[in-house]
Amino acid sequence: GTIGTTPVYIGAAQFAAWKHTQLILDVVEGRGGMFSLDNGTGRRFLVRSRAYGEREIAMLHKADRLRAMQASIDSDTDAFWLAEAHRLDWSVFPTKADESSFGKADFGIRWFADGELNVSVNCLDRHLETRGDQPAIVFEGDEPGEGRTLTYRELHGEVCRFANVLKANGIGKGDRVILYMPMVPEAAIAMLACARIGAVHSVVFGGFSPDSLADRIADCGATLVVTADEGTRGGKRIPLKANVDSALERASGVDTVIVMQRTGGQVSMREGRDIWWEDACADVSGQCPPEAMNAEDPLFILYTSGSTGKPKGVLHTTGGYLLWSTLTYDLLFGPEEGRDVADDLFWCTADVGWITGHTYVVYGPLSNGARTVMFDGVPNYPDPGRLWETSQRLGVTIFYTAPTAIRALMRHGDRWVLQHDLSSIRLLGTVGEPINHEAWEWYHDIVGRGECPIVDTWWQTETGGALIAPVPGATETKPGSATLPLPGVHPELVDGEGHLLTGATEGNLVLTRSWPGQMRTIFGDHDRFFQTYFSTFPGTYFTGDGARRDEDGYYWITGRVDDVINVSGHRMGTAEVENALDEHVLVAEAAVVGMPHDIKGQGIHAFVTLKAGAEGSDALRQELRDLVRSEIGPFATPDVIQFAPDLPKTRSGKIMRRVLRKIAEGQPDQIGDTSTLADPAIVESLIEGARV
Ligand code: WTA
């Protein structure tokens, strides 16, 4: 072959991955010596590689690599993405990268569309030779020290076995499987088993009620549900199987329920429908050939909340999603040059029921060959030192959590942290909501000993992985800012009319170009996908978030500008809570808005008008709270229920939420113009009512 003129720039993890997958066949010559750095930028090798023939490879420090990535992405975007695609093992390597369009006429999101690969092969098989006996999943249960470790080889065997079980129960490519599970290795096993045979998983968070579960089962047309007898969280038991039973009284179409034994609690098993995980897996082969999937074949559906009452089935596909999880995990949490990914123990505290658990507990870490912690407990059980005691005991090096957890623990004082040795931790991350200055400082100074960088990652269920975040070692951080876009991410701020804003300013956050990890559709409703995200500011993807951009180009996310609220990092639509309240016979109408909450970030303030003759009382408040718990789940319980004689409406009958938000925020003086209200007098009575 010929020697390329421009070197290919890669980092340590990618170099290791390429060596493992034999992409690099041979190191022909090491330039500048194996251990000395070439003018401070890294090491250069002349390699013979499958992708490039004989070619120079420069291994760079993250800062230089990031710069090199930005430069090459700008000069030839498609070539850049096809080079990045080499992070994955493909059975058919793609020839095309981005074929997406945000415009109405040729709307669609497509990446690597002629490539073929299997996600489970990338997360498991390709590591077996080099990392087979290395821990893949480190499981920590609800009780401290209750746990086990699965190596890549063990995980591979379990996944193949469960894939065979799914097949034996009639599940094949494209079929939908609901997972309603605790945070146990079996949840990851079931996800990867689906991926192995091309089935589409939809994980439903274990905190959702039977009604919410039934809605999701029905919406995606699932035929099989995987669950556990019970979950345990903070010493309490959650009746998962019983919830599935009641969900299936409402939703039809499910003919198999596979039940994993978690607590050994009593459950009823329906003959002909319900089978035990352990029984099903006995005498099943630990080999299962992977299904070759097109890059654009669905990988999973994950329901999330929007402005309307009906949750959206966010659909992610195989190639783009996996590449984005793999790349962003490496950039944000991967090793620096000279270290291996398995030198780290990565702990993302998110539940697999949310996108963060998909991307940064399961797919991103495993695709990179990392060691990932799965935690089935809560931060304050048995005491507020739990996360730190566990970090010390397991030797966690990278810790990634939500601001709400940080705020909750901060309140208990420093001693819970300081009594543990956290010197193994080298990097901290946050996700899910804006982090306030005080929490950032505490996280940095107390948990991070004033030494660990904080990676504040802004992203969404829809984006597949982080989009705006600092690359440690490369991006200088500012407390409270998610900093700068990752390579290939093109954020802009627009005003209410969609006009592009430049320089330091504040506005609606949009993305002007696609990236591989972008969602592809709302399951079963492609038109709603376009309407929801691409019609507000035509030609762009609208995030629903507001943001400020400072003079250094740094982004500061200010929060949702639509009717979505973020309670303890749990995203929900105000309309969902309203629909639940409306179910009560005495409720005439309900309007729900977010309110500031010290720990949860946002709390839920519900304004409720009752039918004629009904009286508001504490007993009714409790009934309404219980109703929301049973309709949605405990995390959606309103903090404040204010009985209101009427709601502020325009003359055309539209509720003016802006007014309600200001009242809930305790800032009635900022309500502004109310002259368009049908009955401006109502505002005074609501302000009065909020005081009591
Ligand atoms: C918010 C979670 C500020 C934001 C991955 C977004 C954030 C919504 C951050 C998505 C952050 C997420 N700083 N706000 N670092 N990360 N958000 O779909 O409002 O559960 O739109 O995805 O969380 O929530 P979701």
User: Cα-flanking dihedrals φ and ψ of residue 267, to 5°?
Assistant: -135, 160
Cβ atoms of 198 and 121 within 8 Å: the answer is: no
Instruction: Answer whether 297 contacts ligand 1 (Cβ < 6 A).
Output: no
**Distance between CA atoms of residues 256 and 160, nearest Å:** 19
Closest C-alpha among 465, 408, 397 to residue 431: 465
Cα 20 to Cα 13, 51, 88: the distances in Å are: 10, 14, 11
Q: For residue 30, what pLDDT band results from cuts at 50, 70 and 90?
A: low
**pLDDT above 70 as % of the chain:** 95
- β 371-375/135-140 pair status: parallel
Q: What is the pLDDT of residue 214?
A: 97
For tokens 């539940």, the residue is 351
User: Cα-flanking dihedrals φ and ψ of residue 470, to 5°?
Assistant: -80, 140
**Tens-place pLDDT, residues 82-120:** 989 999 999 999 999 999 999 999 999 999 999 999 999
Cβ atoms of 110 and 100 within 8 Å: the answer is: yes
For tokens 């080099």, the residue is 130
Cα angle for residues 611, 615, 616 (degrees, 5° grid): 100
**Tens-place pLDDT, residues 605-650:** 999 999 999 999 999 999 999 999 999 999 999 999 999 999 999 8
Cβ neighbours of residue 188 closer than 8 Å, sequence gap 6 or more:
137, 155, 352, 361, 362, 366, 374
Q: Which atom of ligand 1 is nearest to the CA of 559?
A: 19
Q: Which atom of ligand 1 is nearest to the CA of 461?
A: 18
The rounded Å distance from CA 293 to ligand 1 centre is 30
Hey, how many other C-beta atoms are within 10 angstroms of the C-beta on 136?
26
Lowest mean pLDDT among 68-82, 92-106, 246-260, 517-531: 68-82
Lowest mean pLDDT among 171-185, 223-237, 326-340: 326-340
Residue 35, classed as helix, strand or coil, is coil
For tokens 């096809």, the residue is 82
Residue 406 in tokens: 């940080």
Residue 347 in tokens: 């702990």
The total number of residues shown for the chain amounts to 692
Q: What is the mean pLDDT of residues 285-299?
A: 98
The rounded Å distance from CA 460 to ligand 1 centre is 5
Q: For residue 6, what pLDDT band results from cuts at 50, 70 and 90?
A: low
Q: What is the pLDDT of residue 34?
A: 32
DSSP 492-546: EEE-TT--EE-SSEEEEEEE-S--TT---EETT-HHHHHHHHHTTTTTSEEEEEE
User: Cα-flanking dihedrals φ and ψ of residue 4, to 5°?
Assistant: -65, 150
Q: What is the pLDDT of residue 47?
A: 78
Cβ atoms of 295 and 116 within 8 Å: the answer is: yes
**Tens-place pLDDT, residues 590-610:** 999 999 999 999 999 999 999
**pLDDT above 90 as % of the chain:** 83
Four-CA torsion 560, 318, 225, 141, nearest 10 degrees: -70
Instruction: Answer whether 328 contacts ligand 1 (Cβ < 6 A).
Output: no
**Tens-place pLDDT, residues 378-422:** 999 999 999 999 999 999 999 999 999 999 999 999 999 999 999
Q: What is the pLDDT of residue 33?
A: 33
Instruction: Answer whether 545 contacts ligand 1 (Cβ < 6 A).
Output: yes
Which helix (H) or strand (E) covers residue 683, if one does? helix 681-691
Q: For residue 2, what pLDDT band results from cuts at 50, 70 and 90?
A: very low
Closest C-alpha among 251, 190, 246 to residue 215: 251
**Atom 25 in ligand 1: which residue has the minimum CA distance?**
460
Instruction: Answer whether 533 contacts ligand 1 (Cβ < 6 A).
Output: no
**Atom 15 in ligand 1: which residue has the minimum CA distance?**
458
Hey, how many other C-beta atoms are within 10 angstroms of the C-beta on 46?
17
Q: What is the pTM of this model?
A: 0.93
Q: Is the dihedral of CA 129, 131, 135, 136 positive or negative?
A: negative
Cβ atoms of 483 and 554 within 8 Å: the answer is: yes
**Atom 5 in ligand 1: which residue has the minimum CA distance?**
460
Predicted ipTM of the assembly = 0.99
Q: Return the bridge partners of 399, or none.
A: 347, 428
**Atom 11 in ligand 1: which residue has the minimum CA distance?**
458
Terminal alpha carbon distance of the chain = 80
Looking at per-residue pLDDT, the higher value among 34 and 151 belongs to 151
Average pLDDT of the chain, as a whole number: 93
Whether the per-residue pLDDT at 32 is higher than 80: the answer is: no
Mutate to test the pocket of ligand 1, among 437, 508, 545, 570 (most ligand atoms within 8 A of CB): 545
Q: Which atom of ligand 1 is nearest to the CA of 456?
A: 15
Cα 407 to Cα 268, 404, 459, 525, 635: the distances in Å are: 40, 5, 20, 38, 17
Whether the per-residue pLDDT at 1 is higher than 80: the answer is: no
Mutate to test the pocket of ligand 1, among 312, 571, 635 (most ligand atoms within 8 A of CB): 571
DSSP 258-282: EEE-SS-------TTTEEEHHHHHT
Cβ atoms of 289 and 108 within 8 Å: the answer is: no
- β 427-431/398-401 pair status: parallel
Q: Return the bridge partners of 275, or none.
A: 258
Cβ atoms of 85 and 285 within 8 Å: the answer is: no
List alpha helices for 364-451, DSSP H. Answer: 364-367, 386-394, 403-410, 415-418, 437-442
Q: Which atom of ligand 1 is nearest to the CA of 557?
A: 3
List alpha helices for 559-680, DSSP H. Answer: 574-582, 618-631, 657-664
**Tens-place pLDDT, residues 536-577:** 999 999 999 999 999 999 999 999 999 999 999 899 999 999
Cα 231 to Cα 180, 186, 240: the distances in Å are: 10, 12, 6
Instruction: Answer whether 358 contacts ligand 1 (Cβ < 6 A).
Output: no
Whether the per-residue pLDDT at 132 is higher than 90: the answer is: yes
Whether the per-residue pLDDT at 15 is higher than 80: the answer is: no
Q: Is the dihedral of CA 210, 216, 217, 219 positive or negative?
A: positive
Q: What is the pLDDT of residue 20?
A: 67
**Distance between CA atoms of residues 303 and 153, nearest Å:** 31
Read off the DSSP letter of residue 11. Answer: -
Cα angle for residues 500, 68, 28 (degrees, 5° grid): 155
Instruction: Answer whether 459 contacts ligand 1 (Cβ < 6 A).
Output: yes
Q: What is the mean pLDDT of residues 446-471?
A: 97
- Residue 493 burial class via C-beta count within 10 angstroms: exposed 0-12, middle 13-18, buried 19 and up: buried
